[in-house]
Chains A and B, each alone.
Chain A
Amino acid sequence: MTSASPIFDAAQNDVSFWLGEENVAIGDESTAISMAFETFLNDYFIPISRESIPYVRYHRLKEKWEAETAFLSSISDIVMHPAYQQIIGMGPVAIPLILREMSIKRGQWFWAMKAITNEDPVKPEQRGIVAEMSKAWLQWGKERGYIT
């Protein structure tokens, strides 16, 4: 039987993981089941047919981008990920969605915001300081009415 979840497939095939010693109170099987269930919920409630809704499309791309760049340090590799580029390709409709994301959880959204808006409210001395850069962009968004 083929699983619809690549996560579950990976977990099943990774024999070394299952044989490894994990001195924790949670079983490996329950971890794999939890992950497969989350993937199932995602696939069930966000089918491809609903991807025309910007919010749905954005979230699907964001989840993919975050998962596949989680261990990367290279800004260029992070922003050149196809899902990130597709978010940029959504254009101005993505601006409030990105700003809302920034207000909840910080991340490398600055390249996308610069690309979409052709603006940069971040001062040179703030470069790399993710919290301050996010704050500058959120202020920018408020001043232009993208967020309240």
Chain B
Amino acid sequence: MHPYENLPPEAFWRSAIATKNPLNITGLWQPKFTFKPEDNVVTVGSCFAQHIGKAMVRRGYNWLDAEPAPAKTDPELKKKFNYGIFSFRTGNIYTTELLLQWCQWAFGEVKVPNEVWTNPEGRFIDPMRPNIEPNGFANLDEMEMSREATLEAIRRGVKKAKVFVFTLGLTEAWRNIEHGYFYPMCPGTLHGDFSSEKHEFINLRYPQIKQPLMQAIRLLRSVNPDLKFILTVSPVPLTATASGKHVLTATTHSKSLLRAVAGDIADEQADVDYFPSYEIITGFPFRGMFFEPNMRSVSDKGVEFVMASFFEALEKGRNKRPKPASAKKSNLKETSFEKSDEVVCEEELLDAFS
């Protein structure tokens, strides 16, 4: 007898992959824990995280919109002003450093920087959420109140949540040299002005990815000890790299590190799980079929397949079907999504410079 004799079919390439139609590949995820449709779920992270929240709503799960727009706001208007995209109006949180930063600001560990930008029309831009309002804010007070609103939403949302889903997106980041805080986008690309004296590029390495994420998890757990985490890695390649390497090799390096961190933390922490959306979209057994012709955007079919795998595994783990959408709790804010709803992706805006 040896250990390989009693392994299930999913442990072997031949039975799990080689002899299967890709669309019949199953069992990629055995959840460490399950949750019920009525449990509050928070989603934050990179562009791909938006699909998770939308899919949860469609499936009748209690996706937490902690900073909702008025109930009858048109979906297009909500999207324009970044309501209902993530659980909080942070914009994309691409790196673990940014996640930690938001958590530290929200829970008072670190003071929010007082940097502010203006656009050519004199409107005020939040450097930490440069795309959150299409035309910026009317004045500084309004900008600061809006950011404080998001921090309040984080405080409340984390306390109410049962599950916190974070999608890791990038390792490449831009940092303020003097004060050390991170920007979501390189200053000067969307708004603001770039200065090599004020801003530096950093391509986060494994410890620099893992440590902030662990710190964020500990901080969030200190607020909500029952909170569980699901980590995913965005399968979406980099729009652009400042690393000096080819964007394909930079992407592979980045995603490999993120995948390693996510996997290691999930292995080390009982209340942290990893869901393999990355493998489903990018894994070569799927032959790239879930990408659009630009080989970057994930197709609707891809999102559908990923989320079907997610819910199938979850519900199998719970051993029962979810209740229909009408059973949603009242704290689920009305959010309607079109099937082919495009995601809000600030990083994609870098394409304008290609």
A and B held together in a complex: no
Residues of B whose CB lies within 8 Å of any CB of A are none
